[in-house]
Amino acid sequence: MVSNTDSAPEAQAHKPRPTLAAVIFGTVLRLLWAATAFCLAAGVALVVLYLLGALWVGNELRAAAPHEPALHHGGAPFFGMLLFASTVTPALTALPAIAVAMVGEILRIRSWIYYVLAGGVSLAAIPLLVTPSSADLPAVATSQYMTIFVAAGFVGGFIYWLFAGRRA
């Protein structure tokens, strides 16, 4: 009886080693794909952030001016988007999210939990970093404002994991 270990070396399939050029090309392609996936995930997170923010600010506008007809006929989300975008956009920075994506790629983390939680934390850091020192930091951390940022970060982290994190 002949076992698989006794077979001739010619019968076993040998996988050729990739050349240095192939390894470099593969690494460059992986980095380009990670950057593309990051941009896509950041875009989705921004859409979620602005939609949730527009709804929140629109509801606040309706509550502040209950007798304003423009706010009750579809204008509240539009004005909410304008106000939210004009106050949030200058504060946005991609540095926390880029750091999270780089750590995940370098350490080859493939867990969806890491990317979802890290995405939430990276967007939650933005309001905390730009809050003036005179503001009440615990009030900012427990506000609905923070919930919107964290939810958008969760979505962005999950989208990044779908496109790039699973293959880190």
Digit-coded pLDDT (tens) for 112-129:
999 999 989 988 887 777
Write down the pLDDT at residue 114. 92
- Pick from 6-20, 24-38, 95-109: least confident: 6-20
Express each pLDDT in 81-102 by its tens digit: 777 777 676 666 677 888 888 8
Structure tokens that stand for 148 in this block:
């919107």
Q: What is the predicted pLDDT for the residue at 9?
A: 55
Q: Are 92 and 126 in contact (CB under 8 A)?
A: yes
Domain annotation covers residue 34: no
Q: What is d(CA 72, CA 53) in angstroms, rounded to the nearest whole number?
A: 18
Asked whether residue 24 is domain-assigned, the answer is: no
In a domain, 52, yes or no: yes
CA angle (96, 119, 46) in 5-degree steps: 85
Would residue 91 count as lying in a domain?
yes
Least confident segment among 30-44, 49-63, 123-137: 123-137
| Gap between the Cα atoms of 83 and 67, Å rounded | 19
Please answer whether residues 114 and 120 qualify as being in contact, where contact means their C-beta atoms are separated by less than 8 angstroms: no
Contacts of residue 128, defined as CB under 8 A and 6 or more positions apart, other chains included, come to 137, 140, 141
- Please count the structural domains in the chain: 1
**Nearest to 151, CA basis, from 131, 123, 126:** 123
In a domain, 27, yes or no: no
Q: Which structural domain, as residue segments, surrounds residue 71?
A: 44-167
On whether residue 14 sits in a domain, the answer given is no
Q: 3-state SS of the chain? A: CCCHHHCCCCCCCCCCCCCHHHHHHHHHHHHHHHHHHHHHHHHHHHHHHHHHHHHHHHHHHHHHCCCCHHHHHHHHHHHHHHHHHHHHHHHCCCHHHHHHHHHHHHCCCCCHHHHHHHHHHHHHHHHHHHCCCCCCHHHHHCCHHHHHHHHHHHHHHHHHHHHCHHHC
